[in-house]
Structure 1
Amino acid sequence: MYYDVAEKLLMQKAREAILKHLLGIPVSRSILIEELPQETVSARLSDYTLRIHHEDGEPCILLLEFKSRWEKHAGLQVLEYRVRYKKRYNLPILSYILLLTPSNAATDVYEDEEVRFSYRLVKLYEIDASRIMEENLTTLMPFVPLMKDGKRYILEAEDRIYQSEMNRIDKADMITCMAILSGLVSREIPHEIINRRRDLMIESVAYDILKDEGYRDGWEKGLEKGIKKGIEKGIEKGFERSIRKMLLKGFKPEDISQILDVDIDRVLRLADVSAPSVSE
C-alpha cells in the first residue's frame, strides 16, 4: 500500500518519538533488525522488528505492525512473528499493532481452540491530537489528521512543521507524509495540503505518489479502488522517478519492490545505474 511509504519514512525520522509517545515505550537505544534475503522469500515479515534497550538497559525485541485498516487475522500474524523471533533471539518480546483508523472489530487478543495470545493494540484515533500539539512533538504531527479531534489542528500542525528547525528535506517528507495519511480520513485534506505546500513537497521521495493519477482518482472514487487502479495502471516515468528517489533515500530494493508493487528485477536494474538528479 502507498501508506507504507509514509509509515517507513516516519519510522526513519521519528522512531524514538513513535516508541515513546505513541507506544509508551521510553528507550535508550533502538536498532532495526535487518532480515536476510532468503528470509524475505520464505516467510512474511513483521513491518518493523527492533532490538530495543529500556532506560534500565535491559534488551528486548519489539515487533511493530502498522495497520491502516483492521484485518481479521492481524492477531494471528503477530503471534506468528512472535514465535519466530522468540525462537531466534530468546529475548523478551513486545508485540504491538498501531491501528490508524477506527474499527469495531479491532481486538488485542487472538484466541482459538488451543491458544490465547494478548498483544498491545494502540488505537491512534483515540490519542488526543491536542497532546501532540501542546508538547510540540513536531515529528509526530504528520499523524495529527488521524488522531482524536485531529482535523481542527491540521493547519497548525502543518505550519509548525514548515516553521520548524528541521532541514528542508525532512520538512518535505513530514508534510508529504501528513498528506498521504490524511487520505485515510478525507478526500479534500490531501489536495489542500498539496495546494499550500507543493513547492516544498516536490523534494520528498513520497511526492510522486501524490502526483500519480490513479492515486488522485482514489480520493475521488474511493481510496482503495483508486490506489489499486494506480498500481495496475501506473505511470512508467513516475514509478522510475519514485524508485530512484527511494534508492537515494536508502530504501532497500526489496522494500521498494514491496511498497510500490513492482518487480524486484526492475528495481535492481535501476539500482545498478547511476541515477540522474531528480527534481520533481
Structure 2
Amino acid sequence: MHHDIASKVILSHCKEPFLAYFCELPVEKALLLDPRPQETPSLRRSDFVIKAILADGSEVLVLLEFLSSWNADIPLRTLEYRTRHILQERLPVKTYVVLFLPSHRATYFYQDEEVHFKFNLVKLYEIPAEEVLEKGPECLLPFLPLFKNGEKFIDEAERRIYHSDLSRQSKADLLTGMAILGGLISAEVPRQLIQRRRDIMIESAAYEIIKREGYEEGLKEGIQQGIQQGMRQGLLKAIELGLKLKFGIEGLNLYAEIKKIEDINLLEVISEAIDTAESIAEIKQLIA
C-alpha cells in the first residue's frame, strides 16, 4: 500500500529518531530487518521489524504496524506477529501500532476467555504538530500532515526539510513521503508539494515505486485519484495470487467476478479474508 511505501522510505532515514520520539525507546542503533520467507501464502507479517540496540546494550525487536485506518482484526493479528517473532528470533519484542487517521474504535489490547494482550497504540493524529516542529529532527516531519493541526505547518515542514543539511537523496525521499502521507488528509497537500518540489522528488525511490504502480498521473494532478487506482490494482494482484494459491482453478474463476469491483474497501476486506477463509464459499458470501 502507498502509505507502507512512504513509511518505509522515511524510516530508512529515521529509524533511531522515530523509535526514540514516538516509541520512547532509548535506542543507540536500529536495523530494519528483511521479512523471512513465508511458510504459507496465508501467513501475514508486521509492516516493519527492527532490531534495536538500547542504551544499556540490550537488544529488542520492535514490530511496527502502520495503519491509515483502523481494522477490527488488528489486535489479534498483532498478537500473532508478536508470538511468531518471539519464536523465530528469541528476543524480547515490543509491538507498536501507528494509526494515521482518527477512529473511535481503535484499541490497544486483545482479550478473550484465555488471553489478555496489550500493545502500544500510537495515534499520530493526537500528537501536536507544534511539538514535533519544536523538538523533532527534520526526518520526522514527513509525518506532520497527520499530526494534530498538521495542515497549518506543512509549508514550514517542507522548508525545513528542503533547506536542511540532509543529503539531496534524503530530502527527495522525505518530501515524497510527506506528499504521499499528506494525500490521506487532503488532495491539496500532495498537489502543492509536487508543484513546488517535483524537481527533487522525482529522484526519490518512493517516486519510482509510485510510477511503476501507476500513481504517477495521480501525483502530477494531485495524486489522490492515482493513489486510488494504484491501490485497486495492487489489491487485485494480491487477491488473484491468493485465490490461485489457496483455491486453484475455482479461485481464478471467482477472480473474474472480483476484478469488476471498484470499491477499494470491499477489495481490502476480500484480500484479508482470503488469508483466513476455510472455503471459497466465505469469499463468495463477501462478494454477494
Q: Could you say whether these structures have the same fold, taking a TM-score greater than 0.5 normalized by the shorter chain as the test?
A: yes
Q: Is the 8 A contact 2:191 2:222 kept in 1?
A: no
- 2:193 aligned with 1:189, yes or no? no
1:81 CA displacement: 1.0
Q: Which residue of 2 aligns with 1:267?
A: none
Query: What is the root-mean-square deviation of aligned Cα atoms in Å?
Result: 2.5
Number of residue-to-residue matches in the alignment: 232
What amino acid sits opposite 2:224 in the alignment? W
> In the alignment, what sits opposite 1:271?
none
Change (3 A) 1:143 1:35: closer
How far 1:77 moved relative to its partner? 0.8
Q: 1:33 to 1:229 in 2, by over 3 A?
A: closer
- What secondary structure does 1:28 align onto? strand
Partners of 1:70 and 1:232 in 2: CA distance:
18
Equivalents in 2 of 1:93, 1:133: separation in Å?
Answer: 30
SS at match of 1:148: coil
Matched, 1:228 2:231: yes
Deviations along 1:40-62, whole A, 9 cap, x unmatched?
A: 85621111122222211122221
Shift of 1:114: 2.2
Conservation of the 8 A alpha-carbon contact between 1:68 and 1:99: yes
1:27–1:53: 8 Å Cα contact kept in structure 2? Answer: yes
CA 1:33–1:202: 2 relative to 1, 3 Å: closer
Whether 1:34 and 2:37 are equivalent positions in the alignment is no
Determine the C-alpha separation between the residues in 2 that align with 1:198 and 1:22.
29
For 2:146, give the aligned amino acid: L
Distance 1:217 1:165, change over 3 A: closer
Structure 1 residue identity aligned to 2:231 = K
Identity between Structure 1 and Structure 2 (%): 42
User: Within 5 Å, which residues of 2 pair with 1:12-51?
Assistant: 12-39=12-39, 41=41, 43-51=43-51
Deviations 1:191-217 (A, max 9, x none): 011111111111112224275235658
1:144–1:150 Cα contact (<8 Å) kept:
yes
Cross-structure match for 1:219:
224
- The residue aligned with 1:103 is 103
Q: In structure 2, do the counterparts of structure 1 residues 40 and 199 end up closer, same or farther at CA, with 3 Å as the change threshold? A: farther
Within 2, Cα distance between the matches of 1:195 and 1:165? 22
Matches of 1:206 and 1:9 in 2, distance apart? Answer: 7
Q: Give how far 1:87 is off.
A: 2.0
**1:185 aligns to what SS in structure 2?**
coil
Closer, same or farther in 2 for the Cα pair 1:134/1:232, shift >3 Å? closer
Provide the C-alpha distance between the structure 1 equivalents of 2:58 and 2:198, rounded to a whole number of angstroms: 44
Counterparts of 2:236 and 2:77 in 1: how far apart (Å)? 30
Deviates more, 1:42-51 or 1:79-88: 42-51
SS at match of 1:117: strand
8 Å CA contact 1:29–1:52 kept in 2: the answer is yes
Query: Paired residue for 2:277?
Result: none
Q: Which SS does the other structure have where 2:205 is aligned?
A: coil
Larger Rg: 2
CA shift digits 1:94-123 (9 cap, x unpaired): 111011111111000111232211100010
**Aligned residue identity for 1:157:** A
One-letter amino acid of the structure 2 residue matched with residue 201 of structure 1: M
| TM-score (ref. length: structure 2) | 0.73
Per the alignment, residue 87 of structure 2 pairs with: 87
Distance 1:172 1:107, change over 3 A: same
- Match of residue 257 from structure 2: none
Query: What SS does structure 2 have at the residue aligned with 1:16?
Result: helix
Per-residue CA shift, 1:57-111, capped at 9, x if unaligned? Answer: 1222211111111111111111001111222333322111011111111000111
Q: TM-score when scaled to structure 1?
A: 0.75
- TM superposition outliers: structure 1 runs of 4+ over 6 Å: none
Deviation at residue 229 of structure 1 after TM alignment: 4.4
Amino acid in the other structure paired with 2:6: A
Unaligned 5+ segments in structure 2 are: 238-288
Q: Cα offset for 1:29? A: 2.1
CA contact (8 A) 1:128 1:148 kept: yes
Aligned partner of 1:260 in structure 2 is none
